[in-house]
Structure 1
């Protein structure tokens, strides 16, 4: 079993299968799961984001024909936010232009349906062996260490709340969230008024910390009547 051999070499793997067809998703999750391999399923981008907030993933297997945000857009966003993550596109689109678009969106591997599960397993095993963190020219957020590395190399210490705020914005489509959604995601204790009141102060403090980076003072922009947007490309180590 190639995947079992890869896990023995690389350590445990966490995989998320993003597929809106329930039966296909369940079959892939069941087939890929095993000792040292945890596999979760999501039927769209919103569920994927929820799973990533709960626990990071090493590899995503993404169908392109998803409800809401399509797979190409989702893969571009994941590649920017998590450059070290492995991305496997699994789709019924077979035209050469589709494959080109897939690779341009950040895919490591592009496979067409119907999926041969043994081939998929071999692809994931090979990808697990060669995943390396890709270098970013933007900000780099290290969640375990609560640190932010600026493009010039300076490392800034963050509070847990600051780290989580940047993480949510970095993961969001267009790196932008409404105030209400941002507050809800930052509020595990249901203290909405306090979180909302403290948000402008926290963002001001973050801007000051990032001032040394080009455009750092405007790295988090207030979007009038909506919420906030992270304007600098940010990669995440979760």
Structure 2
């Protein structure tokens, strides 16, 4: 999980808003409630800030110059799957909200937004992303190990935290191993296809999608639970929870 909270527990926020007055007002409010805030006017400035240091949550306007906020959100979700994204926009139609969530928003707020509601949205996202495994590990490492999925590449099996084991094919094992090595980052279909020793063709990319879909169903049916194997829209796949590989 991305965790850019500073050593004193401060939440790090990046505001992306081209209206200078609004940007300053939002920044001032979030700083007053104890958050560390950086600001950007556009997607290019946001990229520069993220290259300098990660963040916990991006507060993203959609009507930005040069690059629309939905495009930026989709790129962020591909590159930083654990990052929180709050879209703040005047676009309030149902279809526009659906598009916002489809392209990566965790929460979609329509202007004018009460700043206390924005603060609550940010804190809600971070509560949802709290890494319970890390907390358990600090208290009892052995207990934390038992709450994780485990991939045995030699036996070609995946064991759920509850103890049920799923037998995997060579291909399923290779895909999960590839995703484990990425440690939560998105792995493109091209990379997965290459890992399987196949050419990067559209048909092979679709084959990967079919294998992943069957794998999800297999795991759910045989363990009565789901490993969080998620798709990054239009790009590839990532693991949103830890799988220990051995």
- TM-score (ref. length: structure 2): 0.53
* Cα separation, 1, equivalents of 2:239 and 2:22: 30
How many Å separate the matches in 1 of 2:66 and 2:54?
22
- 1:143 is aligned to none
Offset, 1:53: 0.3
Kept after mapping to 2: 8 A contact 1:82/1:236 = no
Counterpart of 2:57 in structure 1 is 59
Q: Which residue of 2 aligns with 1:153?
A: 177
| 1:102/1:110 contact within 8 Å kept | yes
- SS class of match (1:33): helix
List structure 1 segments (4+ residues) > 6 angstroms apart after TM superposition: 215-218, 234-237
List runs of 5+ in structure 2 lacking aligned partners. 132-173, 201-233, 241-246
Q: Structure 2 vs 1, CA of residues 121 and 85 (structure 1 numbering), >3 Å: closer, same or farther?
A: same
User: Does the 8 Å CA contact 1:11/1:36 hold for their aligned counterparts?
Assistant: no
Picking from 27, 42, 45, the partner of 1:44 is 42
Residues 1:80 and 1:35: Cα distance change in structure 2 (over 3 Å)? same
Residue 77 (str. 1) matches residue 75 (str. 2): yes
Contact 2:14 2:37 in 1 (8 A): yes
Structure 1 residue 152, shift from structure 2 partner: 3.2
Equivalent position of 1:27 in the other structure: 25
Q: Is the 8 A contact 1:29 1:39 kept in 2?
A: yes
Task: Map 1:13-24 onto structure 2 (within 5 A).
Answer: 13-24=11-22
Q: Any stretches of 5+ residues in structure 1 without a counterpart?
A: 1-6, 134-149, 158-166, 175-206, 219-230
Larger radius of gyration: 2
Selected match of 2:97 from 96, 99, 103: 99
Q: Deviations over 1:30-61 (max 9, x none)?
A: 11125762110011000000000000011011
Identify the residue that residue 214 of structure 1 maps to in structure 2: 196
Q: Distance in 1 between matches of 2:112 and 2:96?
A: 16
Cα gap change, 1:217/1:46 in structure 2, threshold over 3 Å: closer, same or farther?
farther
Q: 2:68 & 2:83 partners in 1: Cα distance? A: 19
Q: Please name the residue that 1:126 is paired with.
A: 124
Native 8 Å contact 1:17 1:40 kept in 2: yes
Distance across 2 between alignment mates of 1:116 and 1:108: 18
Aligned-pair distance for 1:101? 0.8
Deviations 1:99-124 (A, max 9, x none): 11111111110001012101111111
Structure 1: how far apart are the matches of 2:119 and 2:33? Answer: 14
Q: Return closer, same or farther for 1:76/1:36 CA change in 2, 3 Å cut-off.
A: same
Taking structure 1 as reference, are residues 20 and 132 closer, same or farther at Cα in structure 2, changes over 3 Å only? same
Q: 1:13 to 1:94 in 2, by over 3 A?
A: same
Give the CA deviation at 1:236.
11
Task: After TM superposition, list the pairs within 5 Å mapping 1:217-232 onto structure 2.
Answer: none
